[in-house]
Amino acid sequence: MSGDEALRRTFLARTGQWLALTLASPSWTLAQQKPGDDPFTLGVASGDPTPDGIVLWTRLAPDPLNGGGMPRAAVEVDWQVAADEGMRRVIQRGRATATPDLAHAVHVEVSGLDPARWYWYQFKTGSHLSPVGRTRTAPGATNPLNRLSFAFASCQHYEQGFYTAYQHMAEEDLDLVVHLGDYIYEGGIARDRPRLHNGPEIMSLADYRNRHALYKTDANMQRVHALFPWIVTWDDHELDNNYAAEIAEDNAPREGFLERRANAYQAYYEHMPLRRTSMPQGSSMQLYRRLAFGDLAEFSVLDTRQYRTDQPCGDGNKPQCAEALSPQGGVLGSEQERWFLDGLQRSQRRWNIIAQQILMAKIDRGSDEPLYSMDQWSGYEVARNRILRFLHERKVANPVVLTGDIHSNWAADLKADFADPKSPTIGSEFVGTSITSGGDGSDSNPQAAAAFSRNPHLHFYNAQRGYVRCAVTPEQWQSDYRVVDYVSKPGSPVKTRASFVVEAGRPGIQKA
Ligand code: FE
Ligand code: CA
């Protein structure tokens, strides 16, 4: 066991026993705590690391599933950041105000930290202490970085299983975690599920808050939030299945849907370690952003829901009708697309990671006639080609696309012309499966065999649950598909189902 490993294990043990730990802390001591009083039921989190800062998050909610249980008043919350897990060497402290209009959520943007370092943090309100969280700043923006290690995840339907994948993710040696959306699901309560939702389909702000709170009570996910900084973006279920901008799945009237969107976006902001720049404005929220890790990697984090045109051809798996080939169709909206391509053009970093939701590779899912998912980039052919052409012509260094949404693992080459296997390979796409959505899942699928013969750029398919672990160095990218055997009950082991690499300077996926 390395020194780091020993430290991490001690830390893990202590986050489980934070009462004992914080009682020993000389700076903050814990008074008598009545059971049921604890306002820190949703844990702590951190996110969006920069070389000198981080966002620290918590939300005061002694009664998390019933509106939080806080008085309708502002409450002071103290926070501190320490250089050690025992919170003895405190290097920064401050006070934040938790207000009822943001559900008593706290977002502290700490600055003035050192680059590429682990820090520990804790909140205190009244006589209550939060669990201790651990986080890590990014390396200096132009500093040489030899390795970045992270995991990405998506799609964690609470009813469809246990978050065993997170239990295993907590044991990984990571710098950060990336979440690609479907953090919550909006639906009501189903029958015969391993766990149950806390009410019918969510519509109001109170509904969305209680749903986020339910998901946040999961101990395995809380632990991963407390161990690593997260970079999050949403997909559709944070609001409504397969919505497009202002258009609901069921084409509900625009006014009412925008009100619902405002509720969903606000609750999302309240529950995520996001910066003030993402504070919702009415029914809009700016989520797309860029995060850099030394000279090695830059994440472009995209929002493929808020600005897209409606799914063409009636959504679903369809042949590409004229609408799917229309230059009017778009996924990112003109402003985000300009910002995105601009950033890629300017990037000086070795790997350009595109963290987004929907399958970018053109994958024919048909068995006789070609069928494509109209909710994915294949529903927006002109926009996809515009982006791939840009990556190719501007020689953007090592583009790697990360994708969620479809509850299955895939790996595919991004081609200049998907119909021509001899056309240049422009980049690589890793699609990560769900944490739970879809239930236990399976390793093979008769449809997959057909997909391989119809899509020569496809390298891997698997539909078990899990996450993808990525290790990035200046020479090579490696993705390990980590899968669990089942999620319908707790306790599955984890294994690496497949590993793939991308060599720097040579786009395309190779078997590790
Ligand atoms: Fe999903
Ligand atoms: Ca989705």
Q: What is the pLDDT of residue 35?
A: 58
Ligand approaching nearest to the C-alpha of 432: 1
Rg (CA), the chain: 22
In the listed set 84, 112, 137, which residue is the last one of a domain according to the structure?
Answer: 137
Does residue 242 share a domain with residue 128?
no
Q: What does the angle CA 342 – CA 345 – CA 350 come to, to the nearest 5 degrees?
A: 130
Instruction: Let me know whether 148 and 51 are in one domain.
Output: no
Answer with the one of 137, 172, 201 that is the final residue of a domain.
137
Closest CA to 32 of 41, 21, 42, 19: 19
154 CA from centroid of ligand 1 (Å): 7
Q: What is the pLDDT of residue 6?
A: 43
Expressed in angstroms and rounded, the spacing between residue 376 Cα and the centre of ligand 2 is 10
Quick one: which ligand is closest to 438's CA? Answer: 1
pLDDT at residue 1, as a whole number: 42
Q: Bin 307: left if φ > 0, else alpha if -120 < ψ < 50, else beta.
A: alpha
Residues 188 and 259 occupy one common structural domain: yes
Q: In angstroms, what is the span from residue 406 Cα to ligand 2's centroid?
A: 7
Q: Which range of residues forms the domain containing residue 86?
A: 1-137
Same domain, 325 and 196: yes
Report the domain count for the chain.
Answer: 2
Ranges of the chain with pLDDT below 70: 1-27, 29-35
Provide the CATH number for the domain around residue 15: 2.60.40.380
Expressed in angstroms and rounded, the spacing between residue 405 Cα and the centre of ligand 2 is 4
Q: State the distance from the centre of ligand 1 to the C-alpha of 406, rounded, in angstroms.
A: 6
User: What pLDDT, on the 0 to 100 scale, is given for residue 13?
Assistant: 42
The CATH number given to whatever domain includes residue 449 is: 3.60.21.70
pLDDT at site 27: 63
Alpha-carbon gap, residue 356 to 304, rounded angstroms = 7
Say whether both 224 and 126 belong to one domain. no
Check whether residue 73 and residue 88 sit in a common domain. Answer: yes
154 and 48 assigned to the same domain:
no
- Residues 337 and 375 grouped into a single domain: yes
| Alpha-carbon distance values, 9 to 228, 307, 352 (Å) | 14, 43, 32
Residues 369, 312, single domain; the answer is yes
Place of tokens 């994708």: 403
Compute, in angstroms, the gap from residue 37 CA to the centroid of ligand 2.
Answer: 36
Q: First CA to last CA across the chain, in angstroms?
A: 26
Angle, alpha carbons 291-296-297 (nearest 5°): 35
pTM: 0.94
Query: Residue 442, Cβ neighbours under 10 Å: how many?
Result: 12
At which of 85, 111, 137 does a domain end?
Answer: 137
CB-based contact 149:174 (threshold 8 Å): yes
Q: Is residue 255 located within the same domain as residue 373?
A: yes
**Ligand 2 centroid distance, CA of 121 (Å):** 33
For residue 34, the model assigns a pLDDT of 61
pLDDT in tens, 367-414: 899 999 999 999 999 999 999 999 999 999 999 999 999 999 999 999
